[in-house]
Chain A
Amino acid sequence: MASLKFQPFTAALDVGFLTELGRRKLHEFGLSDAPVEIRGSYARAERHEIPSPFCVGADAFLSGEAGVPPTMCVAPGTLLNVNTLEDFKELDKTRLLDGIAQRIWEDMKSGEALERGELMLRFVLLTFADLKSHKYIYWFAFPALVVPAAQRASPPVALASLLSDTQRLALREGFASLSATRGRAPAFFAVRVDASGTLEVGPLSAFADWAAASHTPAEAWLAFCDPCPLLSNPGWPLRNLLALLTAQQLVPREWPSVRILAYREPHPGAAAPALHADGLGLPPPPRAAAGDSRSVVIEVHGPFDASPRDAPPPKAVGWSLNSSNKAGPRQMDLSAQMDPEALAEASVDLNLRLMRWRLMPQLDNEAVAATSCLLVGAGTLGCAVARCLLGWGVRTITFVDSGVVAYSNPVRQSLFTFEDCIGGDTPKAEAAAAALRRIFPCVHAGARRIGIPMPGHPVSAAEASQVGEDARELERMVEAHDVIFLLTDTRESRWLPTLLAAAHRKLALTVALGFDSLVVMRHGMPAEPAAPPASRLGCYFCNDVVGPANSMLRRTLDQQCTVSRPGLAMVASALAVELMVTLLHHPRRGAADADLVGDDEAASGEEAKSPLGGVPHQIRGSLPLFRTTCMRGSAFDRCTACSATVVDAFREKGVEFLRSAFNSSSYLEDLTGLTEMHRETEAKLEEMAGLASECDGEDDF
């Protein structure tokens, strides 16, 4: 008699498990460190001289047994993922292990473990996922109950010394058919060899009856699938099988000893006649010869007295060893293995997701990321808006611009560099999109070099087809995106995008700068097409009583360029993007009424709110005062860009309508009734002027 020594499980934790853990931590668990049910699996050591690993892969989180080969035993596990390294260190491991051991013991006592042997294989996986550096620390525990029976065993003997070849074949077939009825290899089972030598394989629960009906211990054996290949030692699962003998009176008291089979027989397929492919010149398969058997039998000696019903569980051990064979956690660093692009994507995602853990649980990162943005204008504003959108995780950004990068651009326009200017023929839209991809390869950045046709900029016959094509292309772009940013530097260039956004009911945001003042505005979207204009917010043109015209005529140099304080564009662009993100979280999104006017909240009657805060209509800012003010303006029924008259005319006549608008500065004013309004106003003014001069002779009013 001697003490048995057991080979511990060799845990094989997949990278796939850790990345899935990371994903779940970020997207599902958040700050929760509640235990999570997982599964592990192992095969018996049949083919190799090395231990069969205890596998925990990406599918370990799935319930059921899908994807686990039926030749493997499945073990239920508990994942405990803690939030900090300190938690990992300070957690009471002894208590954790004892808790699981207690459950194993209870299942043994209740008899549940006889029916479902895998309950004796419960394991613990303690992890800490450092998602920022892609380092993972993990520690397996395979709780084993320590019972004295392990010290009363005879050294293992080869199965071949106890069974004939015929009996071994019957054993393999019996095991295969037991596996087939259960759909899976049983971790524990029973073997009966009757007096005539006939061998039978049955479930673990059959052992007690078989033993009771046997005359000698040689007739009824316990057995377990053994991941250990050593001829001198059994593997870890035997430990709790021995504990089961203490928990339950399975072995008759009078038996001097019981035989336990460490099952390591090859899969029947391997024992079948080998594949004849001679002449193919291919190497033979690496497999143990059919006659090989690594199975061993261990004789454990009595006494076999089950402990009392309410006996406390025996002491438990089982924290696994690290790579230096000391009890301790292992670590895996995945950063070196990761595709840099995947690394970038994961890290960007992480930073955004972390906002959700504590600061803003309602944040809908998916909705923001899924929003496609069209940036009309790839200048100072376009560059700044794009970078801010990237920061929010927006993945689809398309630039529309007709210009090329100039030497003055890079210092203000954050996506360009000196190299882009050389040669003077690098299109801005493409350069900006390329820069976005360099910054973050996972972005879908597009570019269209389109000149935006403008009212008051007459189209010659030669240009007509190109302008028509440009307008149609811009329309396609507007249709294809969710949010349109108007970031050009003239008033009239915003007209067509405004009209297209209104016609296709897309959210449009305008950013416009003066020298030291800014306006950021979202264009109103009618809740339904027939809604009265007063009930919706205005667009960039709604406050105007003149139609858009060529504003570049007779301008001096300083008037032609956007001359504004350099910080202004960044402030304004950031406000526009934040307004968009806030709106995306509002239940009514773009159709939400302004709920922030001046410094007052909830000026509108709407109950619905965005968790990120107010959704003002306009933000007007002044650098000299370092102040921004929120304002609200209703839609104007004679607006030259978004009124029903204009939208309907565009829908009806399309490009022909646009051409009229481009060629005649008065066309839109006539169409919308502004001309008439001007006449009426002038008449009124003249009337008033007449009255005034009668009174005191002063001019103006």
Chain B
Amino acid sequence: MLLLRCVAAALMSTEAAGRLGSLGLSVWQMGRNVALGAAEYMTPVLTESAFAEKGVITPDEFVRAGDQLVMRCPTWQWHAGDPSKARPFLPPEKQFLLTRSVPCQARAATLTKGCDDEYEVEGDDGWVATKSSLPAARAEEDVPDMVAAAAETLGRASLGESELAAQMGVAEADDGALVEPPDANIIKTRTYDVSISYDKYYQCARVWLYGYTESRQPLTQEEILEDISADHALKTVTLEAHPHITSGAGLHASIHPCKHASVMKKLFSELASGGREPSAEQYLFLFLKFISCVIPTVEYDYTIAVDGL
């Protein structure tokens, strides 16, 4: 737990995080980060491996780490994205990693804390603990709110739909052999498309989120914030155009990578101090674990067996 507090402190106490924090919601105002785009363009491609010393990775290491992730967790796949947005320093077919329709069954904002106590695991085989610890963390008094929220998003979708349904003229929709649809009061799940791109400026991986409501409507910015842990919601998340997906698809929420390198460096040095030899291939597994502090209820896949890790 000690290290984790370091991580959180690193995220919160830095100048950059402070600056973002003071901007508060304005960070969400359609940030296109034009200046940063130019800065990224000017930054030379990192060629020298320095993941253990600095927590940064080269594009080549990103690709190797991504190959490992795809191999071990096949829900993740490489994608080419919009060819006109392809980065020359990455292979055309391996521009970014994507896992689709990842469920998110609870709101992180309703967890009382980020990811400290809730995740504390007894015994030494910590990682086998099941996700069943998650719903337990949801405070009971929060449930009615979530039902109301779910009903609201449902309402948003069904407003015109029932009207439409009446005009469709399908005689017999089903033969009575359908499972009874779940009660509207039962909270259904949100889903996220989670992607990982390589950030040339910060020389690290970067996570992007695009979410859908229970009734498959795109989540609003405010709704996405509910799935970011309270410690990070307004400090580390920005809304930007995805670097590889056509702009028509709308803006994605992104976990800002300004502190990724220092966090990754700490994780790698922790591994090394435990007597294990860190390798670049492990980067994304460690990275995704760290990201799960920020989006604790988005249940993407990163569990694998890594020898020696």
Contacts and interface: CB of A to CB of B under 8 A. Distances in A.
Contacts of A137: 164
Nearest to B251: A339
A69 B74 contact: yes
A242 B188 CA distance: 29
Contact of A150 (B121, B177, B306): B177
B131 A269 contact: no
A323 B215 contact: yes
B247 A322 contact: no
Interface in A275-306: 275-290
B283 interface: no
B165 A274 contact: no
B65 interface: no
Interface in B282-309: 285-286, 289-290, 292-293, 296, 299, 301-306, 309
A338 B248 contact: yes
A654 interface: no
A233 interface: yes
A321 interface: yes
B207 to A, nearest CB: 15
A283 B248 contact: no
Contact of A13 (B7, B160, B216, B267): B216
B306 A275 contact: yes
Given A275-B303, A326-B162, A336 B220 contact: yes
A318 B105 CA distance: 27
B161 interface: yes
Most buried by B among A233, A336, A337: A337
Contacts of B79: 59, 67
B157 interface: yes
Contacts of A275: 127, 285, 303-306, 309
Contacts of A283: 115, 118-119, 289, 292-293, 296
A286 B165 contact: no
A367 interface: no
Nearest to B159: A331
A315 B76 CA distance: 39
Nearest to A239: B177
Interface stretch (A43-51, A444-452, A692-700): A43-51
Interface in A14-57: 14-16, 19-20, 22-23, 43, 47-48, 50, 52-53, 55, 57
Interface string A512-554: 0000000000000000000000000000000000000000000
Contacts of B246: 16, 19-20, 23, 58
A510 B155 CA distance: 59
B198 interface: no
Contact of B128 (A53, A290, A333): A290
Given A276-B125, A323-B154, A328-B164, A281 B218 contact: no
B74 A71 contact: yes
B158 A286 contact: no
B44 interface: no
A68 B127 contact: no
Interface residues of A, number: 91
Nearest to B250: A337
B157 A323 contact: yes
B168 interface: yes
Contacts of A327: 165, 168, 170, 173-174
A163 interface: no
B130 interface: yes
B156 to A, nearest CB: 9
B112 interface: no
B130 A287 contact: yes
A317 interface: yes
Interface string B174-195: 1101111100000011010100
B172 interface: yes
Nearest to A13: B216
B4 interface: yes
Interface stretch (A1-9, A393-401, A499-507, A664-672): A1-9
B178 A5 contact: yes
Nearest to A280: B270
Interface in B226-280: 241, 245-251, 267, 270-271, 274
Contacts of B251: 337-339
A346 interface: yes
Contacts of B181: 321, 325
Q: What interface size band does chain B fall in?
A: 35 or more
**Main secondary structure on A side of the interface with B:** loop
A339 B239 CA distance: 10
A215 interface: no
A72 to B, nearest CB: 8
A314 to B, nearest CB: 10
Nearest to B266: A280
A19 B249 contact: yes
Contacts of B193: 14
B203 to A, nearest CB: 22
Interface in A52-111: 52-53, 55, 57-59, 67-71, 89-90, 93-94
A15 B218 contact: yes
Contact of A340 (B30, B103, B171, B248): B30
Given A55-B100, A89-B167, A317-B172, A285 B218 contact: no
A278 B296 CA distance: 18
Nearest to A346: B248
Contact of B250 (A70, A321, A323, A339): A339
B216 A332 contact: yes
B167 A67 contact: no
A422 B159 CA distance: 51
A315 B4 contact: no
B22 interface: no
A284 B154 contact: no
A269 B72 contact: yes
Interface in B130-158: 130-131, 133-134, 154, 157-158
B210 interface: yes
Contacts of B42: none
A294 to B, nearest CB: 13
A14 B302 CA distance: 23
B135 to A, nearest CB: 10
A465 B118 CA distance: 74
A329 interface: yes
B217 interface: yes
B51 interface: no
Contacts of B305: 269, 272-275
Contact of B179 (A5, A279, A288, A334): A5
B48 interface: no
A497 to B, nearest CB: 32
Nearest to A16: B249
B129 interface: yes
A360 B181 CA distance: 49
B298 to A, nearest CB: 9
A20 B82 CA distance: 11
A323 B188 CA distance: 11
Nearest to B217: A332
A289 B132 CA distance: 10
Nearest to B6: A281
Contact of A282 (B164, B167, B292, B306): B292
B101 interface: yes
A647 B173 CA distance: 77
Given A48-B105, A280-B3, 11 more contacts: A7-B178, A67-B77, A269-B305, A274-B303, A284-B119, A284-B130, A286-B131, A322-B157, A330-B157, A339-B241, A345-B247
29 contacts: A3-B177, A5-B178, A8-B179, A14-B193, A16-B249, A19-B246, A19-B248, A23-B246, A58-B246, A68-B77, A89-B164, A89-B169, A139-B168, A146-B177, A150-B177, A269-B73, A269-B304, A275-B305, A281-B3, A283-B293, A286-B130, A287-B303, A317-B177, A324-B162, A326-B161, A328-B168, A337-B250, A338-B251, A342-B241
10 pairs of A and B residues whose beta carbons are closest in the complex: A328-B165, A327-B173, A286-B131, A283-B119, A281-B4, A323-B215, A337-B250, A19-B248, A284-B129, A325-B181
